[in-house]
Amino acid sequence: MWEWEPREKLLLLAALAYAFLLTLLAPFYTLLRRWLLRRYCHRTGRHCRQAHAPFARMRMALSRLWQSVPPHWESLSGRGQPTVSVTML
């Protein structure tokens, strides 16, 4: 990791993840955000619920969601899974 290219790729990946979390904080996604936090990052107690740590809680909630239901990136890309055909000669 001493060269610039791999570092730049990691930095861009982190920026993409950060931008994704920022979009989830938009008012349009309030219901989704509340569901994610209640379902996958539940906090008890008034102090914990009112604490301002939205990125940490959203990261934890998304991590737990994707651990329980892994996303199928192939179907989201629209390309589908590659098909492999084998013929016997």
Q: What is the pTM of this model?
A: 0.56
| Residue 62 resides in a domain | yes
Mean pLDDT of 22-50: 81
| Residue 71 resides in a domain | no
Q: What is the pLDDT of residue 48?
A: 67
Q: Which domain holds residue 61?
A: 4-66
Answer with the residue of higher pLDDT: 68 or 44: 68
**Whether residue 79 has pLDDT greater than 70:** no
Q: How many domains does the chain have?
A: 1
**Residue indicated by tokens 């920022």:** 22
Contact 24, 55 (CB under 8 A): no
What percent of the chain is predicted at pLDDT more than 70? 73
- CA angle (36, 22, 43) in 5-degree steps: 35
